[in-house]
């Protein structure tokens, strides 16, 4: 067997023995893989300290054909997730890793999801070359919308999620947690699980959705109050979509 090369984001790592770990990496080429990294925690190892949480790295992996753990034979760091003083960036990165893990099955390649998270992690790292003028909360929101979209769970934003009718951008939006997002006045009748989103939050959500699909460039400026409103909406929407709350969602901030 020949190891295969892949670009990976480290989404989870836990101890397997004193010197080895099991890591969940999301690769661009093969999707999510769970792999044993033998000797990763020895002082001299083949992993270049690349297996820290949220690192982006190149890995060599021996794929198991039948269910079991893959074997990670080498890793080389491309970019470490540097949080510096930004706690919002750190929690945002953790949240995106948990969401990515929750939305994907093993060995199911989703290059769009990979790209969305890689881009977000790059701009959440304070000393990155990337544009740092975008607030962590907006970066997280845009990446989360991109992930949901790629997974087939993206909420309707500018059009009614039920009939497709274009919605008035200057009005409050009725957002159906159980009905795929925004709803027009006739489709919202009799629906349960609706929240009414303010006009500022409606326009911020549209802007973040446009950022998510690359239809506009940042930065998008959104007030903390509005971000708080959107965060509450998205936390509930994601919980409904996944059938459970993500642990890291409670740490997300509006900054």
Tell me how many residues contact Zn ion (CB under 5 A).
6
Smallest distance, Zn ion to C-beta of residue 191, A: 10
Judged by beta carbon, residue 92 or residue 154, the one nearer Zn ion is 154
Smallest distance, Zn ion to C-beta of residue 151, A: 23
What does the alpha-carbon distance between residue 14 and residue 36 come to, in Å, rounded to a whole number? 10
Q: Do residues 76 and 50 touch, judged by C-beta distance below 8 A?
A: yes
What does the alpha-carbon distance between residue 96 and residue 101 come to, in Å, rounded to a whole number? 8
What does the alpha-carbon distance between residue 162 and residue 147 come to, in Å, rounded to a whole number? 21
In this structure, are strands 21-27 and 31-37 parallel, antiparallel, or unpaired?
A: antiparallel
Q: Nearest 5 degrees, angle CA 85-CA 88-CA 92?
A: 125
Q: Residue 6 interacts with Zn ion (CB under 5 A)?
A: no
Q: Nearest 5 degrees, angle CA 116-CA 117-CA 120?
A: 90
Smallest distance, Zn ion to C-beta of residue 161, A: 8
Judged by beta carbon, residue 44 or residue 189, the one nearer Zn ion is 189
156 beta partners: 181
Judged by beta carbon, residue 108 or residue 165, the one nearer Zn ion is 165
* Residue span 35-54 as binding mask against Zn ion, x where in contact by CB under 5 A, dash where not: --------------------
Smallest distance, Zn ion to C-beta of residue 235, A: 25
Beta strands in 88-244 (DSSP E): 173-176, 181-183, 194-197
Judged by beta carbon, residue 131 or residue 165, the one nearer Zn ion is 165
Judged by beta carbon, residue 91 or residue 206, the one nearer Zn ion is 206
The residues in 144-183 that bind Zn ion, with binding defined as CB under 5 A, are 160, 162-163, 165
| SS3 of residue 242 by DSSP | helix
Smallest distance, Zn ion to C-beta of residue 212, A: 22
Question: Which listed residue (72, 140, 167, 184) binds Zn ion by CB under 5 A?
Answer: 184
Smallest distance, Zn ion to C-beta of residue 169, A: 15
Q: Which residue has the tokens 């990979």?
A: 114
Question: Which listed residue (50, 116, 136, 187) binds Zn ion by CB under 5 A?
Answer: 187
Centre a 10 Å sphere on the Cβ of residue 123 and count the other Cβ atoms it contains: 24
| Contact set with Zn ion (CB under 5 A) | 160, 162-163, 165, 184, 187
């Amino acid at each position: 067997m020949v190891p295969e090369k892949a670009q990976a984001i480290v989404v989870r790592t836990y101890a397997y023995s004193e010197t080895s770990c099991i890591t969940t990496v999301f690769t661009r080429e093969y999707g999510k893989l769970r792999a044993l990294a033998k000797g990763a925690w020895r002082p001299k190892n083949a992993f270049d300290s690349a297996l820290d949480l949220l690192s982006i790295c190149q890995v060599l992996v021996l794929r198991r054909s039948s269910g079991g753990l893959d074997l990670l034979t080498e890793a080389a760091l491309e970019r470490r997730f540097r949080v510096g003083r930004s706690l919002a960036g750190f929690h945002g990165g953790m949240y995106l890793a948990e969401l990515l893990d929750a939305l994907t099955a093993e060995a199911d390649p989703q290059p769009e999801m990979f790209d969305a998270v890689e881009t977000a992690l790059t701009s959440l790292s304070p000393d990155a070359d990337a544009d740092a003028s975008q607030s962590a909360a907006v970066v997280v929101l845009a990446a989360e919308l991109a992930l949901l979209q790629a997974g087939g769970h993206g909420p309707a934003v500018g059009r009614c999620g039920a009939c497709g009718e274009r919605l008035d951008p200057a009005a409050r939006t009725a957002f159906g947690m159980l009905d795929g997002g925004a709803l027009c006045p006739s489709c919202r009748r009799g629906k349960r699980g609706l929240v009414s989103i303010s006009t500022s939050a409606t326009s911020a959500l549209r802007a973040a959705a446009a950022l998510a699909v690359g239809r506009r460039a940042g930065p998008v400026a959104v007030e903390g109050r509005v971000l708080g409103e959107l965060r509450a909406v998205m936390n509930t929407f994601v919980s409904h979509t996944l059938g459970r709350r993500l642990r890291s969602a409670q740490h997300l901030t509006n900054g």
